[in-house]
Structure 1
């Protein structure tokens, strides 16, 4: 029996996702569309599949309908396989009357489902991170070192260290202490052994990635204590001195998509000549729903550093440093710069497109869109100007919001002809 077959993966869907509002207004955080055709939850699921870990639960509690639908339509395994991806939403039982209170509480409330399965190791993952990682390396190291808990860590510099939980290790990669978001004055005492390459980049501190491996017996014992509700804040700090806890250092690309700014930056980063997150890897593929969409059609458009998904009809004048999602439509003489356009869930009928009483889905003619996120199914009229930037204050309206200078047009919003933001 392979080691990966002894692993059960738990993907934490997160809470209400208020820092990603308004993208999480009508969907859970793992269901937020990324890179024009994927969902955030596809990242940890794909990492598991690529690591031959094929038994996964996704834990969520807010707006889980679209996430359920995506997983049901995407992840089909052989009838003769034990593989599955199941969504577990918060549920009331005789023992649990409320919502998940934190990451550990989510696992605790769902533990009665996990105990029915055979597994030796539980892999706990976040549903809102962008990275490509072979979990087998981490699990093999966990077993070889006879660890009871393993934590994936990433070397960070002094500037970033103050934003993370920082772990200190010895020469054997054993974690000896932990501090949450340390003050810069404390950092000299929190360096850990890292590779020469990381040292040369000034990345001498080990940040927790929120990726854990637990031995079955230990995680089930820890979950009996109902006073602990969070892994990062309670479970990990409380158990470093009690059990053998080791660090698995990861030096690849990893970003925590916690707010609109980081989400925007991660998506536009895909337009780089050599993006840090590689969607073109044969070994580390990212899986998603297989759609039977036509090819994209482009007419008279100047394209530069732009990623375009399937099924689009583009007649724009210029698109630069942008990600254009599935089934997007952009009309003549429009300019789109530094923008993530998520696309549409369906094509409009010809009658709706011809109807001049309201804007059609997509971007109309002669528009100028810069520093924006356009959620799914937006209808943006002709001659609309949306120019995001730090000059804009945060604001919330029925059709759009501004966060950190980025204009987010809400899902299904209608922006009338000539409107300016």
Structure 2
């Protein structure tokens, strides 16, 4: 089935500078997660699982790899109206500027959206990790006769100052909004939440940046070129004039905005029962690859997630996510690490002919802890990388240290015997 009344608009985000160097040559939605997926697969999969199969992804920075991933991944029936299309910022007769904000991105792309029949526009972020029943949110929007619905997430007082907070009445209708309030203002911004949330001290409703707009209202709101952002302008102005419903979501949700949050979200997948659970009926879709099974020899695995097509001879892998086509040599120890893997294999013939000293992957007798290894890296034998809070922020041509996490840049070579500690 396809929900013909809903059109999904997935915002690709800005330059993604806080996720640098992972965004040095790819957009945020194209950043690999969980060993085999891309961030954009999360909102797309949430839509597909909710029978919403007409989607636009809006982007303007480093969009080539995102285009390629979507083109190679999301194929629907020739007789279906389903699609996932990428819309990059483009010059038109109406505008010759880059997207200036979330609302401006939607405004500049409206002529594409209006070629489709729909009653509701579902606006999602391309850089969040969550698993939501979007169909239920749409039904609640209809039942409440709202013109706008906002997905809200109960947060604690400690976290509340970093979000836009919403206040609701007893019918879950939003009555007021404040952007990143000072701590002394918080007592006036509590909302009604479930008993489970109260027990955790999560009494404040934060906007998740997930919206439903009635089609006609969205068209009307986009007529004002001076409003460029949903969270800072459109929503605060609209709630006073248009019925706005709060859809409370209490599952796992995180905004992948920094290297630290990205790192913790990926390592969290190694928990026995991860908060973001890939092992249930709501599948996450991604590119179908015909990779062989992973081959592991003499390795102790503890809380490890191993993707397809890996060749592993390590001594130990602990609390780590190992991406597709990864190679890890003998006697190496990998701890608290997200290794994204490789796009290709190196054949024995290539290795011999090219006399390659540092092979793709991790060499022999390495020790790697608190590290993100981006795609297609070459880490030589006897390399020691020991991340942690003892390290100061630093950047070189081949790696960056941020908040104690060592990030090996995409395609970098770390020569044998290198020590980063």
Compute the TM-score of the two structures, normalised by the length of structure 1: 0.98
- Corresponding residue SS for 1:327: coil
> Which residue does 1:111 correspond to in 2?
110
> Which residue does 2:248 correspond to in 1?
249
Give 1:307 deviation, angstroms.
Answer: 0.1
> Which residue does 1:146 correspond to in 2?
145
In structure 2, C-alpha distance between the alignment counterparts of 1:378 and 1:96, rounded to whole Å: 40
Q: CA contact under 8 A between 2:4 and 2:117: conserved in structure 1?
A: no
> Which residue does 1:225 correspond to in 2?
224
In structure 2, C-alpha distance between the alignment counterparts of 1:404 and 1:213, rounded to whole Å: 36
Alignment of 1:46-57 (within 5 A): 46-57=45-56
In structure 2, C-alpha distance between the alignment counterparts of 1:379 and 1:157, rounded to whole Å: 42
Alignment of 1:233-382 (within 5 A): 233-282=232-281, 284-354=282-352, 357-382=356-381
In structure 2, C-alpha distance between the alignment counterparts of 1:72 and 1:357, rounded to whole Å: 33
Give 1:356 deviation, angstroms.
Answer: 5.0
Q: CA contact under 8 A between 2:102 and 2:230: conserved in structure 1?
A: yes
The alignment covers a number of residue pairs equal to: 419
> Which residue does 1:36 correspond to in 2?
35
Give 1:349 deviation, angstroms.
Answer: 2.1
Q: CA contact under 8 A between 1:362 and 1:379: conserved in structure 2?
A: yes
Alignment of 1:380-391 (within 5 A): 380-391=379-390
In structure 1, C-alpha distance between the alignment counterparts of 2:357 and 2:398, rounded to whole Å: 15
Give 1:253 deviation, angstroms.
Answer: 0.4
CA RMSD of aligned residues (A): 1.0
In structure 1, C-alpha distance between the alignment counterparts of 2:375 and 2:251, rounded to whole Å: 31
In structure 2, C-alpha distance between the alignment counterparts of 1:228 and 1:17, rounded to whole Å: 22
Alignment of 1:85-234 (within 5 A): 85-234=84-233
- Corresponding residue SS for 2:419: coil
Q: CA contact under 8 A between 1:352 and 1:360: conserved in structure 2?
A: no
Structure 2: runs of 5+ lacking an equivalent: none
Q: Which runs of 4+ in 1 moved over 6 A?
A: none
Q: Does 1:83 align with 2:117?
A: no
Q: CA contact under 8 A between 1:10 and 1:57: conserved in structure 2?
A: yes
Give 1:14 deviation, angstroms.
Answer: 0.4
Q: CA contact under 8 A between 2:328 and 2:363: conserved in structure 1?
A: yes
Give 1:275 deviation, angstroms.
Answer: 0.2
In structure 1, C-alpha distance between the alignment counterparts of 2:310 and 2:196, rounded to whole Å: 42
Q: CA contact under 8 A between 1:5 and 1:52: conserved in structure 2?
A: no
In structure 2, C-alpha distance between the alignment counterparts of 1:265 and 1:200, rounded to whole Å: 24
Give 1:353 deviation, angstroms.
Answer: 3.2
Q: CA contact under 8 A between 1:358 and 1:416: conserved in structure 2?
A: no
In structure 2, C-alpha distance between the alignment counterparts of 1:5 and 1:48, rounded to whole Å: 12
In structure 2, C-alpha distance between the alignment counterparts of 1:248 and 1:232, rounded to whole Å: 16
1:328-374 deviation per Cα after TM superposition (whole angstroms, max 9, x unaligned): 00000001000000000010121343455530000000001000000
In structure 1, C-alpha distance between the alignment counterparts of 2:130 and 2:333, rounded to whole Å: 31
In structure 2, C-alpha distance between the alignment counterparts of 1:98 and 1:411, rounded to whole Å: 30
> Which residue does 1:14 correspond to in 2?
13
Q: Does 1:420 align with 2:393?
A: no
1:85-129 deviation per Cα after TM superposition (whole angstroms, max 9, x unaligned): 000000111211111010000000100101111000000000000
Q: Does 1:409 align with 2:408?
A: yes
Compute the TM-score of the two structures, normalised by the length of structure 2: 0.98
In structure 2, C-alpha distance between the alignment counterparts of 1:393 and 1:266, rounded to whole Å: 22
1:32-82 deviation per Cα after TM superposition (whole angstroms, max 9, x unaligned): 000000000000000000000000000000110100000000000001110
In structure 2, C-alpha distance between the alignment counterparts of 1:324 and 1:357, rounded to whole Å: 23
- Corresponding residue SS for 1:136: helix
Q: CA contact under 8 A between 2:392 and 2:401: conserved in structure 1?
A: yes
